[in-house]
Amino acid sequence: MLRLLDRLEEVMIGTLIAGATLLIFVSVVHRYSLGIIVDMYSYARAHDIAWAAPALRSTFMSVKSINLVWAQELCIYMFVWMAKFGAAYGVRTGIHVGIDVLINRLPPERRKIMILFGLACGAFFTGVIAVLGANFVHHMYYASSISPDLEIQMWIVYLAVPTGSALMCFRFLQVAFAFARTGELPHHDHGHVDGIEDDADIEAVEAAPVTPDDTGIATGSDRLPKDR
Amino acid sequence: MDALLIFVGLIALMLTGMPISIALGLTVLTFLFTMTQVPIDTVALKLFTGIEKFEIMAIPFFILAGNFLTHGGVARRMINFATAMVGHWHGGLGLGGVIACALFAAVSGSSPATVVAIGSVILPAMVKQGFPKQFGAGVITTSGALGILIPPSIVMVMYAVATSGMQAVGPDGQPVSSASVGELFMAGVVPGLMLAGFLAFTTWNRARRFGYPRLPKASLRERWEAFRKAAWGLILIVIVIGGIYTGIFTPTEAAAMSAVYAFVIAVFVYKDMKLRDVPRVLLSSASMSAMLLYIITNAVLFSFLMTHENIPQALGNWMVETGLPWWGFLIVVNILLLAAGNFMEPSSIVLIMAPILFPVAVRLGIDPVHFGIMIVVNMEVGMCHPPVGLNLYVASGITKMGITELTVAVWPWLLTMLVFLVLVTYVPWISLALPHALGM
């Protein structure tokens, strides 16, 4: 069951980022293809290429009939959903950065307490936001406002806040329990670079497969809590 | 009084080691609950509207593009091209590394990504050629910092987002508009090239003094060959910078285009990456973006609280009353940012500090674009020194050197960067010449 949730989370955020990228790409191409077809059309007219003009004209009409003004709005909504669920995934993999210089110098017992305090604060904050968000969505549901371009119900869009925060809260609790039991913390090592061995030479590096767990800024590996 | 309370609360929470985003959010929540009558529902709304801007979406796109470029073989071909051009001079591969970092920085928006992309290929090669490990690590750690100065740059997007829509007035009482992403990108070009030149000079000079190995001079044919292979990556520079400048794309669209383009060359042209690796890259880019977006959301909440309590305005009035000249203010800002660089990573610093400092800077007559570039250079320095310099950690991951050893190795270049920082701070012309010449 938990496995399924983990998997769903990963597939969802991966799909959302890919989808949003493609969406913006298509809308930009679409915007400029109109101009290019017009140029070709006027060229054909000017040079009396009789056969090309009607064909270009109909292409222009069909391209024009595709309306993509909603692309930008949809892209934003996709990223909002990605951000909320990705943040929950980030708790599980320990990617959220904090200032750990100070607490790492504490004796282990005190350090453990501080870390648990931090995780509890995380759970508390996300929990509060989930409740506030749910309340807000509830109001939106009755206000029945719709988005400007897509014309979908806004409460569906805002649903990302309570659901994402609730999931995040759950993840914080999950990590906190795992840490209390095993003392292991998911830690995203921003400095770790995969494929580099002690005796690395250039061929080995070049042949290295795509580093699997790398994340945005750097490559790194995630140690997950053991009780997944 | 309230301001003091907010900051003490924030710093106390941050020092417990909890995620910065949570510390920000919790501070705001506590303050709003206990001290004000702001309807708490607005918090939920702010959490959504905080990232509901199309400009912010450039960040995930640039991260995605950077990941495809790093693993798609673009970096390796850029290195070959750079070493073919300058490898026969003093410094050889090291000098090539600086140039390669500058080239890669022009397609990537993050510095640690630049260190990974260039460093993981060139550092082992340098050691093999007989360079001391320290030399290579020093060159790449600092040159990688060019990633956020040469456009595109994630930190610049953060600055634009953090200051956009702020009510700032100039010394003459006229409202001043904040810097756009496009302006900042153009403004970063000249300082970026200059810093690359500075770092290359330091590298060249040290290599000459210590007699490090040089490469045989590449023939014209070899150079052409290296250029031809790297061209796919180099075209991307033209697409991003040219596209934004001519107005063909907005910065966000340019970022999306470069992500798609990078995917195509990594998988279909260079074939350094298999299609089945793509989901992993997507997932890791998504989670890194989500982390940054989550900080942005909470930082927006925090700056909402700041504005609500009129803190930036009060600070601005106070600064003007004390009669602090603009250059004095810039010294204070530099020290503040360098100090903050000891504890936090750039995105958080920019998101927290920029909204507070920006109105004051504008009030003292400092150009928003110049101020942005200065902050970015400050952030670069912060990435290259301990305890939280991300570039250092990445370089230590590649070279297996300890952080202390690396810190010593980095200092000649770090010193160069500090000199450059002073230059950028007090010569606004360096940042403003290009955007002004372009009529921005």
Q: Report residue B174 as tokens.
A: 């006229």
Per-residue burial over B232-255, b if 16 or more Cβ lie within 10 Å, else e, is: bbbebbebbbebbbeeebbbbbbb
Judge whether B239 and B254 are in contact, CB under 8 Å: yes
Residue A220: pLDDT band by 50, 70, 90 thresholds?
Answer: very low
Judge whether B117 and B140 are in contact, CB under 8 Å: no
Q: pLDDT value at position B44?
A: 66
**Secondary-structure breakdown of chain B: helix, strand, coil percentages, each rounded to the nearest 5:** 80, 0, 20
Q: Using CA atoms, how far apart are residues B380 and B144, in angstroms rounded to an integer?
A: 9
Please name the residue that has the structure tokens 């918090």.
B43
Q: Using CA atoms, how far apart are residues A150 and B363, in angstroms rounded to an integer?
A: 41
Q: pLDDT value at position A202?
A: 37
| B121 to A206: CB separation less than 8 angstroms, yes or no | yes
Beta strands B168-169 and B175-176, pairing class: antiparallel
B108 C-beta neighbours (distance < 10 Å), count: 35
The C-alpha of B398 sits at a distance from chain A's nearest C-alpha, in angstroms, of 6
Averaged pLDDT, B185-202: 94
Residue among B22, B112, B290 whose CB faces A86 most closely: B290
Measured CA distances, B314 to B167, B311, B364 (Å): 13, 5, 14
DSSP class of residue B344?
S
> B169 forms bridges with which residues in the sheet?
B175
Residue B317: pLDDT band by 50, 70, 90 thresholds?
Answer: confident
Q: Using CA atoms, how far apart are residues A18 and A205, in angstroms rounded to an integer?
A: 28
Segment among A79-83, A139-143, B350-354, B420-424 with least mean pLDDT:
A139-143
Averaged pLDDT, A3-31: 91
B134 C-beta neighbours (distance < 10 Å), count: 15
Tell me the residue length of chain B.
Answer: 440
Q: Taking CB atoms and an 8 Å cutoff, what residues of chain B touch A14? A: 279, 282-283, 286
Residue among A24, A93, A101 whose CB faces B388 most closely: A101
- ipTM for the whole complex: 0.84
Q: Using CA atoms, how far apart are residues B354 and B360, in angstroms rounded to an integer?
A: 10
Cβ-based contacts under 8 A for chains A and B: 265
Averaged pLDDT, B296-306: 85
Q: pLDDT value at position B1?
A: 66
The C-alpha of B120 sits at a distance from chain A's nearest C-alpha, in angstroms, of 7
Q: pLDDT value at position A203?
A: 39
Residue among A89, A115, A190 whose CB faces B393 most closely: A190
> A70 forms bridges with which residues in the sheet?
none
SS3 B72: coil
The C-alpha of A138 sits at a distance from chain B's nearest C-alpha, in angstroms, of 11
Judge whether B407 and B386 are in contact, CB under 8 Å: yes
Segment among A7-21, A205-219, B205-219, B294-308 with least mean pLDDT:
A205-219
Mean pLDDT of chain B: 88
* Helix/strand number for chain B, H first, E second: 21, 2
| B17 to A14: CB separation less than 8 angstroms, yes or no | no
Q: Could you give the maximum distance between any two Cα atoms of chain A, in Å?
A: 86
Q: Report residue A98 as tokens.
A: 């904090």
Q: Using CA atoms, how far apart are residues B22 and B299, in angstroms rounded to an integer?
A: 10
Q: Report residue A114 as tokens.
A: 């501080």
Averaged pLDDT, A12-27: 92
Phi, psi of B312 (to 5 degrees): -60, -40
Q: Report residue B323 as tokens.
A: 């009669």
For B168-219, the DSSP string reads: EE-TTS-EEPPPPHHHHHHHHHHHHHHHHHHHHHHHHHHHHHHT---PPPPP
Judge whether B109 and B147 are in contact, CB under 8 Å: yes
Q: pLDDT value at position B216?
A: 85
Residue among A89, A100, A190 whose CB faces B287 most closely: A89
The C-alpha of A84 sits at a distance from chain B's nearest C-alpha, in angstroms, of 7
Q: Which residues contact A68 (CB under 8 A, 6 or more apart)?
A: A26, A27, A30, A31
Residue of A nearest to B266 (CA): A210
DSSP class of residue B19?
B
Q: Using CA atoms, how far apart are residues A13 and A26, in angstroms rounded to an integer?
A: 20
B73 torsion bin: left (phi>0), alpha (psi -120 to 50), beta (else): left
Q: Report residue B293 as tokens.
A: 């977006």
Residue A120: pLDDT band by 50, 70, 90 thresholds?
Answer: very high
Q: Which residues contact A46 (CB under 8 A, 6 or more apart)?
A: none
| A118 to B16: CB separation less than 8 angstroms, yes or no | yes
Residue from A16, A188, A17, A226 nearest A96 by CA: A188
Residue A201: pLDDT band by 50, 70, 90 thresholds?
Answer: very low
* Best to test chain A binding among B64, B267, B291, B351 (most A CBs inside 10 Å): B291
Residue A192: pLDDT band by 50, 70, 90 thresholds?
Answer: low
- Say which residue, A194 or A47, is predicted with more confidence: A47
- Terminal alpha carbon distance of chain A: 10
* Residue A4: its H or E element: helix A2-46
Judge whether A92 and A186 are in contact, CB under 8 Å: yes
Residue A108: pLDDT band by 50, 70, 90 thresholds?
Answer: confident
- Terminal alpha carbon distance of chain B: 40
| A211 to B71: CB separation less than 8 angstroms, yes or no | yes
| A82 to B290: CB separation less than 8 angstroms, yes or no | yes
Which tens digit of pLDDT belongs to each residue from B130-189?
889 889 999 999 999 999 999 899 999 999 988 887 777 888 878 888 889 999 999 999
Q: Which residues contact A18 (CB under 8 A, 6 or more apart)?
A: B282
DSSP class of residue B269?
I
Residue B405: pLDDT band by 50, 70, 90 thresholds?
Answer: confident
Amino acid at A118: G
Judge whether B336 and B388 are in contact, CB under 8 Å: no
| B397 to A191: CB separation less than 8 angstroms, yes or no | yes
Measured CA distances, B64 to B68, B148, B220, B371 (Å): 6, 16, 35, 28
* Residue B381: its H or E element: helix B368-383
Which tens digit of pLDDT belongs to each residue from B61-105?
999 998 898 888 888 899 999 999 998 888 889 999 999 999 999
Q: pLDDT value at position A148?
A: 76
Which tens digit of pLDDT belongs to each residue from B341-378?
877 888 889 998 998 899 889 888 899 999 999 999 99
**Residue spans of alpha helices (H) in B50-180:** 58-71, 74-86, 92-105, 111-129, 133-143, 154-163
Query: For the whole prediction, is pTM greater than 0.90?
Result: no
Handedness of CA A12, B58, B337, B411 (dihedral sign): positive
Q: pLDDT value at position A109?
A: 87
The C-alpha of B4 sits at a distance from chain A's nearest C-alpha, in angstroms, of 20
Q: pLDDT value at position B297?
A: 86
| B44 to A118: CB separation less than 8 angstroms, yes or no | no
Residue A226: pLDDT band by 50, 70, 90 thresholds?
Answer: very low
Amino acid at B315: L
Q: Taking CB atoms and an 8 Å cutoff, what residues of chain A touch B400? A: 196, 198
Q: Using CA atoms, how far apart are residues A208 and B51, in angstroms rounded to an integer?
A: 36
Q: Using CA atoms, how far apart are residues B121 and B110, in angstroms rounded to an integer?
A: 18
Residue from B347, B381, B379, B366 nearest B426 by CA: B366
Q: pLDDT value at position A211?
A: 30
